[in-house]
Amino acid sequence: MNSQSYSSTEQMEANRFRGYRFYTETIEVSTMSALAFFEAGQEQYEGKRMFWQNREKSFTMVGLGHAYVLTADDYKGRFSSIQKDWKALSSQLVNEETAVQPVLFGGFSFDPLNDQPSEWRNFPQAYFAVPTFQLIIKGEQAYVSVHLITKQPNSFMDFEVLRKERDRLIHGAQVSEPKVYQKPQVSEKKELKKDEYMRSIGKVTDVIRAGEVDKVVIARALELRFKEALAPASALYQAANEQPESFLFGLEAGEQFFFGATPERLVKVEQQRALSTCLAGSTPRGQSVEQDEALGQALLNDSKNRSEHQYVVQMIGDVFEEHCSDPRIPQNPKLMKIRDIQHLYTPVEGKLKKGSSLLDLVEALHPTPALGGEPKLQALSLIRSYEPLNRGYYAAPIGWIDAKGDGEFAVAIRSALLDGDKAYLFAGGGIVADSTPEAEYDETWVKFRPMLRVLGGNLHDES
């Protein structure tokens, strides 16, 4: 193993995975559709599947089945508990693969202290899994790995069974007819607690104007009901078509499926290089080139949006100053233009200091003022008091980490929770001193658009 990521004190700590063996075998395969591989696992692994594709489309991961599940429910230690368990578990790796690493994929809830009624019945405060079958597509190359984590001393037979199953899955994915899914048919669309949402913005702006906090992000939810239950593969298919310029993620927990197409990176670490994204401040796309440019310029010059953005840059910058040497934080934001919306955008990078890790950065960053507020703890407590919602995994870190400690987490916005014939969609916005409930309400409709397109609900201006 890579000795750098395992400090000696941690190795001396009792390893709760002592006695386990972590077998892995990777083969290179002809590249295939990631979605077809996801579908090939439908019968055997439904409820235990994962999907990830980065924004650049240079890295795609599909997981089928659970070789091991790591969860955490305590509110304080969930990041470090996942980190410790993953280090301990991956130190039991029997053989070291070079082409790709075993990946732990999953996410955290937004706020474990939120005690409002929740639709997220299958999602613990942290929920991660090492897939039994892991497809990784990196550029032109595709790899399928089998993972077996067991206490049985002689698992040769088990592994043989898994190899056969792996070949069946690969074959299924490669020869299956590419599926074309129809858009789901929505029978009902409900705005949940709209009045409470509008009032909460009023209350939060009062607190901000009184000088108690600078920024608080307030969100709301829509509920869609479909004529027929919607398959996760169909949701991913629509998301890939409709939102090609975003991270795509999907996480099954039994019959519930959380998925989304988010433009926002929380943090990526690759060989000690750390990258994050400050994304806050929004305006719609224009109908014409001229209108689009005018809207973009107005966004760049708008003091309310610039202040929403600046709190994020300041905070992410501070975290990078602490955890990275040589942090680079540009002076001014650029525009990020995606299909339905334009945002103010500042990329931040640095070199991870010795002793700091990807999950340390996730913990330090989450939530940034793009989804929480400034100062963080006061903002979280105001969200708890005023926002009429349990965010579950919305706006929370979703992503992966490999056995060497590299990985990437996105901020799970532009997302929905699928639950049989229902879906819950979430969107929010950064409230600052000069926010108004009406403008924030309109902004959330723009942010609902990606998932409304995917799920077949009318966009607000079409309804």
Q: Which residues bind ligand ISJ (CB under 6 A)?
A: 217, 219, 264, 279-282, 308, 343, 370-371, 413-414, 427-430, 447
- Is 260:238 a contact under the CB 8 Å cutoff? no
Neighbouring CB atoms inside 10 A of 336's CB total 20
CB of 197 to ligand ISJ, least distance (A): 12
Cβ closest to Mg ion, residue 405 vs residue 430: 430
Cβ closest to ligand ISJ, residue 65 vs residue 333: 333
- Is 29:134 a contact under the CB 8 Å cutoff? no
Q: 341-352 and 273-284 as β-strands: parallel, antiparallel, unpaired?
A: antiparallel
Write the DSSP symbol of residue 434: T
What three-state secondary structure class fits 361?
helix
Report residue 87: phi and psi, to 5°. -65, -45
Cβ closest to Mg ion, residue 284 vs residue 399: 284
Q: How far apart are CA 458 and CA 274, in angstroms?
A: 39
Question: How is residue 136 written in tokens?
Answer: 């990784």
Paired residues of 207 in beta bridges: none
Report residue 438: phi and psi, to 5°. -65, -45
264 classed as catalytic: yes
87 binds, among ligand ISJ, Mg ion, none (CB under 5 to 8 A by kind): none
CB of 109 to ligand ISJ, least distance (A): 16
Q: How far apart are CA 152 and CA 167, in angstroms?
A: 24
CB of 318 to ligand ISJ, least distance (A): 18
Question: How is residue 333 written in tokens?
Answer: 């934001």
In the numeric block, the tokens 């996801």 are attached to 38
270 classed as catalytic: no
343 binds, among Mg ion, ligand ISJ, none (CB under 5 to 8 A by kind): ligand ISJ
CB of 282 to Mg ion, least distance (A): 5
The site for Mg ion (CB under 5 A) is made up of 282, 429-430
427 binds, among ligand ISJ, Mg ion, none (CB under 5 to 8 A by kind): ligand ISJ
CB of 295 to ligand ISJ, least distance (A): 13
Left if phi > 0, otherwise alpha if psi is -120 to 50, otherwise beta: which for 373?
Answer: left
- Is 23:148 a contact under the CB 8 Å cutoff? yes
Give the residue at shortest CB distance from Mg ion: 429
In the numeric block, the tokens 């903002």 are attached to 379
Question: How is residue 223 written in tokens?
Answer: 């509920």
66 binds, among ligand ISJ, Mg ion, none (CB under 5 to 8 A by kind): none
Cβ closest to Mg ion, residue 284 vs residue 430: 430
CB of 341 to ligand ISJ, least distance (A): 8
Q: Please tell me which residue in 242, 252, 264, 440 is annotated as part of the active site.
A: 264
Cβ closest to Mg ion, residue 132 vs residue 282: 282
Neighbouring CB atoms inside 10 A of 422's CB total 17
Q: Please tell me which residue in 215, 308, 387, 443 is annotated as part of the active site.
A: 215
Q: How far apart are CA 133 and CA 24, in angstroms?
A: 10
Cβ closest to ligand ISJ, residue 65 vs residue 428: 428
Paired residues of 262 in beta bridges: 247
Cβ closest to Mg ion, residue 282 vs residue 357: 282
217 binds, among Mg ion, ligand ISJ, none (CB under 5 to 8 A by kind): ligand ISJ
Q: How crowded is the C-beta side of 172, counted as CA atoms within 13 Å? A: 17
What three-state secondary structure class fits 277?
strand
CB of 311 to ligand ISJ, least distance (A): 11
279 binds, among Mg ion, ligand ISJ, none (CB under 5 to 8 A by kind): ligand ISJ
Q: How far apart are CA 40 and CA 51, in angstroms?
A: 13
Neighbouring CB atoms inside 10 A of 90's CB total 25
CB of 260 to ligand ISJ, least distance (A): 9
Cβ closest to ligand ISJ, residue 49 vs residue 343: 343
Cβ closest to ligand ISJ, residue 405 vs residue 450: 450
428 binds, among Mg ion, ligand ISJ, none (CB under 5 to 8 A by kind): ligand ISJ
CB of 276 to Mg ion, least distance (A): 19
Left if phi > 0, otherwise alpha if psi is -120 to 50, otherwise beta: which for 422?
Answer: beta
Q: How far apart are CA 448 and CA 394, in angstroms?
A: 13
Paired residues of 275 in beta bridges: 268, 349
> What positions carry a catalytic annotation?
215, 264
